Structure 1
Amino acid sequence: MATMRLWVLAAVFFWTANALAMEDPVIGYVKTVQGEAMVLAAGETIQAEPGTPLQLGYVLKTGSEGSMGVTLKDNTVMSLGPDTELVVDDYLYSPSKGDLKLDASMSQGSLNYISGVIAKLKPEAVSLKTPAGNIGIRGTHFLVTVEGKD
């Protein structure tokens, strides 16, 4: 009987670990927030605060007097200014396997970007889409402003 319980517990443990591994992995964290800043995830609006985990596809949004600082797992730093909307569309960070990619899209606002490991190891794997066109990241630091929809 004790052996049966042990097998059941082991099965539950491995099933739970497998289910957790299937979830979208955390790609970074909110580091700083001033004013109104939120994360839109799966139809939910979460008030951003330092330590908020970020996953692929989350919408990062700031209000008219808000700002938010984000650090991704590869140490990419993004500072969003007021009235900014940004989404990380694709993110791969597994340097040992050569899997490196960072694609983001920004519909409005301002972004101060400082390259992390992905851009340093494989610059062509990083891009930012805006309504005016795509920005290929070849340097380590840039500032972009996108006019909002009026």
Structure 2
Amino acid sequence: MQAWAAVAGTVVQLSGPLLAKKANGTVKILSLKSEVENGDTLVTEKNTYAMLRFIDNSEITLRPASTMTIENFSFDKGKPEGDQAHFNLVKGGLRSITGLLGQRNEEKFSLKTPAATIGIRGTTFIVEYVAPDEAPALASARRFLGASTAALAPDSLPPAPLQLAQMAQPLLPAGGTRPAGLYVQVVAGQINVSNGGGGLNFSAGQFGYVPSTTLPPIVLPANPGLQFTPPPAFSAAANPAAQANPGSDSGKGKAVDCEVR
């Protein structure tokens, strides 16, 4: 007998193939209006952006070549004590927009990555994890840290968030390739990034970098090359009725799933 998995959300925008690896080992090819469930590991192909709208009206948009697991998502409008929103970004990147759960129980949201865990404070943020390809990755990260902070005098304050956001040129090391690690950008609100090396809050307009699980997060003085450019259609509301009444069935269509065994 197959175990029941709670529905967490729906695919509302899609630009290419999106796979869901189910907790029972099966794999589904998802389409628009497909439901995603607790335990699903979602995988986007190299040209795929995928926008997910969760039952609390929050949104996560996966960038191409990304893998994310919905570890535990639970929301009942009348039972805030049961709120849970825990995700695991295995590779790639995403944009997250807070919904009702994050607004009323921000401490119940977490996004794990290979380098650090992210918590929210009423937030829209972008995150990308660059996986290490070889052993010298950490040395490259340390060089990047030095170059990134060289512009800040030891006795000076970091640039204000708006200054950081308005710096036009991406901050890249020689050769134009970013070293391995976690990169974050806060569009609105605030996030907390923490790991074994320490923790740091990032506010709207700031960029951050975490080289590994043992080195603490730092604020970067400019955009490190983060680019998040989903198709223009992703900016339009995919389901205005759901925006007004999260958790309702209005505007819900039939999902077409293809299961691969």
Q: 2:12 — aligned with what?
A: 31
Q: Distance in 2 between matches of 1:122 and 1:74?
A: 12
Name the amino acid aligned to 1:40.
K
Q: 2:86 — aligned with what?
A: 103
Name the amino acid aligned to 1:96.
G
1:87: how far off?
0.7
Gaps of 5+ in 1: 1-18
Name the amino acid aligned to 1:80.
L
Q: 1:59 — aligned with what?
A: 41
Q: Distance in 2 between matches of 1:103 and 1:149?
A: 24
Q: 1:137 — aligned with what?
A: 120
1:71-130 Cα distance to aligned partner (Å, 9 max, x none): 110011000001110011111212322211100000111101000111000111101000
Tell me the TM-score normalized by structure 2.
Answer: 0.48
Tell me the TM-score normalized by structure 1.
Answer: 0.81
SS of aligned partner of 1:120: helix
Alignment partner for residue 91 of structure 1, among 65, 73, 76?
73
Query: Quick one: structure 1 residues 149 and 65, their matched pair in 2 at CA, closer, same or farther if it must change by over 3 Å?
Result: farther
Name the amino acid aligned to 1:89.
E
Say what the alpha-carbon RMSD is for the aligned residues.
1.8
The higher-RCO structure (CA 8 Å, 6+ apart) is: 2
Q: Distance in 1 between matches of 2:84 and 2:101?
A: 7
Q: 2:107 — aligned with what?
A: 124
Q: 1:15 — aligned with what?
A: none
Name the amino acid aligned to 1:48.
L
Q: How many residues align?
A: 131
Q: Distance in 2 between matches of 1:97 and 1:34?
A: 35
Name the amino acid aligned to 1:43.
G
Q: Distance in 2 between matches of 1:97 and 1:35?
A: 36
1:74 and 2:56 matched: yes
Q: Distance in 2 between matches of 1:143 and 1:74?
A: 19
Percent identity, aligned pairs only, is: 25
SS of aligned partner of 2:32: coil
Contact 2:5-2:39 within 8 A present in 1 as well: no
When you count strand as a share of all residues, which structure comes out higher?
A: 1
Q: Distance in 2 between matches of 1:31 and 1:59?
A: 17
